[in-house]
Amino acid sequence: MDTGKMIADQFKALQQHICSELNKADGQAEFKMNAWTKDIGQGVSGVMQGGKYIEKAAVNFSHVGGTYSEQMAKLLGEEASTYTATGVSSILHPVNVHVPIIHMNVRYFELDNGTRWFGGGIDLTPHYIVKEDARWFHEELKAVCDSAHPEFYDRFKPWADDYFFLPHRNETRGVGGIFFDRLKPGEELGERELLEFCIQLGRLYPQVYAALILRHGDKAVNEAQKAWQGLRRGRYVEFNLVHDRGTKFGLVSGGNTESILLSMPPIANWEYMHEPEAGSEEAKTLELLKKGIDWLNV
């Protein structure tokens, strides 16, 4: 059996499930599916714009492969001649500032030297941090982790803190989540168990977001809050273009540029030396953008 093809089929079905669930959650707009083919492989870009609650969303599937370049070797630290990669990546930018930005990706990578692994993650980026939401989000992640391996949450939570971090700002991207990479079949779990963990994480993603839309999607928003949303989106752009390894790998591998950059928000702002008023909700959020917070016990 072609392992990469089997996993790609599972991930493509996951993409369809996520889009279907988010269509229901928004209730107004629906995903448009754009299939693409390039020399390195194929994929489907699912895009939603102008929804009632979701301003812009991307749920992308890809299955690619080919020559393993020197740039890839530098990024991944592995020597090989050819590679195969498949996965689902998604980003949701909400209309309402009280609904967070959320990101998820799951992926499988295989080299012709016999090395193969799973990776992925999910993280939450609130414009305004609500501690109760952050605690609930991490509880949901821990439950999925615990169903696969009792040590996964404790290992992957700090990994997310370190990964989703803007060193030039000295702040985390949001309240974190989990991040994992190089999970190789046979080291702790088998291929089937690792794939199932990725699938369950992907299925949690729209479930979590639908709940957050119900909690906050219809709250009133004033002009000052809308301006703050633009600034926080700007931080998101900075991370994705400067630090995100998935963006870098997609571009150096010759992937579909439009799909790779779908993670960008529709509108973002930067303001020189912006300082929120002391004691404001904006200032309180900045104070919580730190590594190492135990969100399960805030």
Kindly report which listed range (82-86, 95-99, 121-125, 211-215) carries the lowest average pLDDT score.
82-86
Does the pLDDT value for residue 186 go beyond 80? yes
Of 76 and 152, more confident: 152
pLDDT band of 245, cuts 50, 70, 90: confident
What pLDDT, on a 0 to 100 scale, did the predictor assign at position 1? 52
Q: How many domains does the chain have?
A: 1
Instruction: List, by residue number, the catalytic residues.
Output: 103
CA distance 229 to 240: 17
Helix (H) or strand (E) holding 126: none
Cβ-contact 244, 179 below 8 angstroms: no
Of 80 and 12, more confident: 12
Q: Are strands 116-125 and 176-183 parallel, antiparallel or unpaired?
A: antiparallel
Q: Where are the beta strands (DSSP E) in the chain?
A: 32-38, 41-49, 54-67, 82-94, 101-111, 116-125, 165-166, 171-172, 176-183
Report pTM: 0.93
Name which of 200, 45, 46, 39 is nearest 118 in CA terms. Answer: 200
Number of H helices and E strands in the chain, helices first, is: 9, 9
Domain limits for position 162: 3-297
Q: Give residue-wise pLDDT tens across range 198-212.
A: 999 999 999 999 999
Does the pLDDT value for residue 77 go beyond 90? no
What's the mean pLDDT in 262-290? 95
What pLDDT, on a 0 to 100 scale, did the predictor assign at position 94? 98
Q: Which domain CATH number covers 277?
A: 3.40.1500.10
Buried b (16+ CB within 10 A) or exposed e, 167-176: eeeebbbbbb
- Encoded tokens for 297: 């016990």
- The overall average pLDDT reported for the chain is 94
Does the pLDDT value for residue 39 go beyond 60? yes
Q: What does R_g of the chain's alpha carbons equal in angstroms?
A: 19
- Encoded tokens for 270: 């930067």
Q: Give residue-wise pLDDT tens across range 138-178.
A: 999 999 999 999 999 999 999 999 999 999 999 999 999 99
What pLDDT, on a 0 to 100 scale, did the predictor assign at position 179? 97
Kindly report which listed range (1-10, 131-140, 226-235) carries the lowest average pLDDT score.
1-10
